[in-house]
Amino acid sequence: MLARPGLPSFDYVRASTPDEVLHLLDEHGAEVRLMMGGTDLLVRMRQGDVRPRFVVDVKHLPGMRDIRFDEVRGLTVGAAVTMNQLAGHADVREHYSLLADAARSVASYQLRNRATLGGNLCNASPCADTAPATLVLDGRACLYGPGGEREVTATEFFLGPGKTAMQPGEFLTAIRYPVPPFDSAGRYLKLGRSKLGDLSLVGVAILGFSDGTASSGYRFRIGLGSVAPVPLLAREAEAVLATSALCEETLALAARKAMETAMPIDDVRAGAVYQKAMVRTLTLRGLREVWVWLQSTQSRSR
């Protein structure tokens, strides 16, 4: 047995139309695996976890590598847009900097040239870096299947490790993000075992914005990665920030609530107690940074 076995044999199909993909999925079902960058799929095939007969490359389908921004409709990112494309795109950096930061935090520059946003979400790993950002930015997965197109919110999309709301025969074509609230600020904080492209032990995405309907005058959305079977929104922490006057004590209470929402398990990469403590630390750090930014925007607009 080879120490590092090679890829098993398979038929490679470069799909050129969405209906061709549907036809292949319909005809060959579980024997088909879709591929974009292949940075998850090919590793799993090499490890022997999956052995598809057909690998269908969908990244050349029309629109799959496009990024479109419109000040009314928001951002549409083709499923096969790479992390480097996303991190470097002017509209993404200006209006969705949180998403750009999350994309930039993935692995190494070389890997980010292949790894795609859609692949990161479809893989449904609890530690996918773009998942918490997609949650707080209210992203929607655009799916295409035998019944046509449909959209699924990010909160409904992730069902468990490796499991999504995609039905058999469907595939992801794009991710849509609405225009973020005016003057919002976002941060993605990631803790890995090394700064050089490691999977996250904890990922925290925060979006804050002023909102006259909240009694504090502000709302925050907080997404947590790597600390539960699926990426989560820290709803209790969000409620604290919407209802209590914002000050250091409120930020600290919200960070504690975020910690209480996290449900990590002990594994080879980190202990649960440590991960919980790091959720609190990173949430507090992120909230302070976003809060400082929101205050400075407010004083500029006075």
Which residue number is nearest to ligand FAD in terms of Cβ? 119
- 148-187 footprint of ligand FAD as x/- string (CB under 6 A): -----------------------xx---------------
Minimum CB separation from ligand FAD for residue 121, in Å?
8
> Strand 185-192 vs strand 200-210: parallel, antiparallel, or unpaired?
antiparallel
Return the SS3 of 243.
Answer: helix
Report how far residue 198's alpha carbon sits from residue 196's, in angstroms, rounded to the nearest whole number.
Answer: 6
195-214 positions binding ligand FAD, by CB under 6 A:
197, 199
Find the part of the chain contacting ligand FAD (CB under 6 A) among 27-35, 70-78, 89-97, 236-244.
Answer: 27-35
Contact 55, 11 (CB under 8 A): yes
Minimum CB separation from ligand FAD for residue 116, in Å?
3
Interface with ligand FAD includes 97 (CB under 6 A)?
Answer: no
User: Can you tell me which of 13, 35, 99, 100 binds ligand FAD, judged by CB under 6 A?
Assistant: 35
Minimum CB separation from ligand FAD for residue 233, in Å?
18
Find the part of the chain contacting ligand FAD (CB under 6 A) among 23-31, 34-42, 180-188, 281-289.
Answer: 34-42
Report how far residue 233's alpha carbon sits from residue 74's, in angstroms, rounded to the nearest whole number.
Answer: 22
Q: Total residues contacting ligand FAD (rule CB under 6 A)?
A: 29
Contact 287, 255 (CB under 8 A): yes
Nearest to 182 by CA among 102, 301, 270: 301
Interface with ligand FAD includes 41 (CB under 6 A)?
Answer: yes
Strand partners, 53: none
Minimum CB separation from ligand FAD for residue 297, in Å?
30
Nearest to 180 by CA among 155, 204, 207: 207
Helices (H), 96-234: 97-104, 109-112, 117-123, 130-136, 154-157
Interface with ligand FAD includes 128 (CB under 6 A)?
Answer: yes
Of 85 and 120, nearer to ligand FAD (C-beta) is 120
Instruction: Name 66's Cβ contacts closer than 8 Å, sequence gap at least 6.
Output: 76, 78, 81
User: Can you tell me which of 79, 99, 185, 222 binds ligand FAD, judged by CB under 6 A?
Assistant: 79
Output the six-digit token pair for 160: 């468990």
User: Can you tell me which of 13, 15, 25, 36 binds ligand FAD, judged by CB under 6 A?
Assistant: 36
Output the six-digit token pair for 138: 């209210």
Nearest to 238 by CA among 215, 225, 254, 217: 254
Of 135 and 240, nearer to ligand FAD (C-beta) is 135
